[in-house]
Amino acid sequence: MNITEKRNKNSTHIDECETKDILKIINQEDQTVPKVLDDEKILNTMTKLINEIVKSFQKNGHLIYVGAGTSGRLGVLDASECVPTFGVKPTMIQGLIAGGNKALTIPVEGAEDSLTQASMDLQKINLNKNDIVIGIAASGHTPYAISALNYANDIGCTTGSISCNPDSEISKYADFPIEAVVGPEVVTGSTRMKSGTVQKLILNMISTTAMIRLGKTYSNLMVDLQPTNHKLVDRAIRIISEAAGISYELAEKYFQESKKQPKVAILMVLCKLNRGEAEKKLRETKGRIADNIK
C-alpha cells in the first residue's frame, strides 16, 4: 500500500475529539511537512531541475505543470500567480489539469485515468523540446500525469515529477524526480492535506527561485509585478521608494514617468537615466537591475 493511503496512528480517534483538539491534531501533522524539504537529495534534485528551467526560459521555453485533482489545481494555481507577481506572459508557465478547466471546481469522473488526453492537451499548447514538463501526482501513479511525461520525453523535453510516495511510478518517467514523503494523512487518503501542502511548497520554491534567477526581483523586492489594481499600484510605488531610497511622492513621479514599470523606474533613479536609457540597459542585462549597479 502507498504511504499516502495508509492510516495515521495519530488521528485514529479524531472523530471522537472536540473541535479544538481536532485542530491541534491537524496542526501538529502539518508542522512535520516543511521538514521533509530539508532533505539533501530533494534539494539537489530541485536545484538541477530549476537550473534547467532557467535555461529553458532563456531559450523562450515554457514550464508546464500537469496533474489531476488537487495536484492539477495546485499546478494551475502556481502558474496563474506568476503572471501578476513576476510580470510574465500567461504562456510562460502553464498548468494543465485532467478534465480541463471545468475540473478546477468540479471533479471530472475518470479524467485522471486517461492515457491519451495528456498528450492531446500538450499538443494543443504546441509543446516542443525547449519546454519543461513537471508531472504532479501525490500517489505517484496517476495515468494522466505519467502519460504527459511519457509524451514529453518522446519529443525531447526535460521532465520532472513531484510525488509523495517513495519509489513512485511517475519517478521512472522523470529526469528529475522529487519524492516528498510526508506520511499518512490525518484523514486517510485525503491528499489535499499534507501532500497538497508539500506540493504547494515545492511549486512555490521552483517558480520563485527560477524567477529570481531571471532577475524578476531586485534584492527581495518583486520589481516586475503588474500594477493592475489600486493595491498593486501602491505596492509598486512603495517598492520603487524602498529600492531607490526616495520618498513615496518622488517614487510615484518616477512610476508615472516609467510608464508604470517599477524596474525601469528604479534604474532611472539609481543610474540617473531617462526611461529610454533605462529600458535599453535592462534589455542589455536581460532584465537584471543588479547587473547595472556598480
Q: Look at residue 153 and tell me whether its pLDDT is greater than 90.
A: yes
| 3-state secondary structure labels for all residues of 50-80 | HHHHHHHHHCCCCEEEEECHHHHHHHHHHHH
Same domain, 44 and 121: yes
Question: 216-228 pLDDT, tens per residue?
Answer: 999 999 999 999 9
41 with 134, same domain: the answer is yes
What DSSP string runs through 83-148? HHHH---TTTEEEEETT-GGGGTS--TTGGG-SSHHHHHHHHTT--TT-EEEEE-SSS--HHHHHH
Q: Which of 213, 240, 264 is the last residue of a domain?
A: 213
Query: 15 with 51, same domain?
Result: yes
| Residue of 5, 18, 29, 81 marked catalytic | 81
252: part of which helix (H) or strand (E)? helix 248-257
Contact 187, 197 (CB under 8 A): no
pTM value is 0.94
SS3 state at 161: strand
Both 166 and 66 in one domain: the answer is: yes
**pLDDT, tens digit, for every residue of 14-50?**
999 999 999 999 999 999 999 999 999 999 999 999 9
pLDDT of residue 166: 96
Which of 167, 185, 213 delimits the end of a domain? 213
End-to-end CA distance of the chain: 58
Rounded-to-integer distance, Cα 53 and Cα 116, Å: 26
- Number of domains, the chain: 2
Q: Is 16 a catalytic residue?
A: no
pLDDT at 258 over 80: yes
149 is a domain residue: yes
Whether residue 81 lies in the annotated active site:
yes
18, 29, 109, 112: the active-site residue: 112
